[in-house]
Amino acid sequence: MRTTTTARRRATKAGTKTGAKMGTKLFATVALVASAAAVAGIGTFGAYTDTTTADVSVGSAKVSVLMNDNDAGIHVDAKGMVPGDKVVFPVSVKRETGSAELGDLTLQTTITNQNALTDALRLTVDSCTKPWTVSGASVTCSGTTTNVSTDGGLVGNGATSAWGQTSAWVPTLNTNVPVYLRATLTLPSSAGNNTAGLTTGITWTLTGTQRTAKTTVVTP
């Protein structure tokens, strides 16, 4: 009986210890789950959001100067001249639609095969407030005529050329109004035999330069 009682007491004590251990383990497990739930709940709060945008459309301009509405320029055939002959041709200079405004306009003269004929030839340039009218062998102005140069030499650049100070055309071109010119190429009657049978080429190149850069304030 004592033995049995002792065994039962031991069993009871053992059970009590085991129960205590199980209780501790169970409590620890519950505490761990509760902590994980608390951490998981941190990011579950809702928030209102909104977005807006700003976009800018950007485009660059170009500089384009046309001669007789042609970006590639013009060609004048003045072959077979004899002393006293004149070759007259109208030239319009304008800024192409959409071109940036000009800050300057310069002229460069290039001579091919310069010789006595080149030196003898003379150029007279006149401007008109309206397009020149071509009728047969005459080129006339129905507006106001202004002389740019008279019997100027072909060799020369900028203001030293027979085309005069081309930069003076810039204000007119920037108002989208063409500059109307009439050029008269003359082989003077005084040209000697040393000009006979020769050929020469003259290229006048107009170069437009963009206006001065500026800052533009835009209110969206």
Question: What residues does each domain of the chain span?
Answer: 2-38, 65-210
pLDDT at 219 over 60: yes
Q: Tell me the average pLDDT across 79-83.
A: 94
DSSP collapsed to 3 states, 184-216:
EEECCCCCCHHHCCCCCEEEEEEEEEECCCCCC
Residues of the chain with pLDDT > 70, as a percent, come to 80
What pTM was estimated for this model as a whole? 0.73
Encoded tokens for 30: 């519950």
pLDDT band at 71 (very low <50, low <70, confident <90, very high): confident
pLDDT at 143 over 80: yes
The CB density around residue 73, as the number of other CB atoms within 10 Å, is 14
pLDDT in tens, 82-95: 999 999 999 999 99
Q: Please list the residues that pair with 122 across neighbouring strands.
A: 186
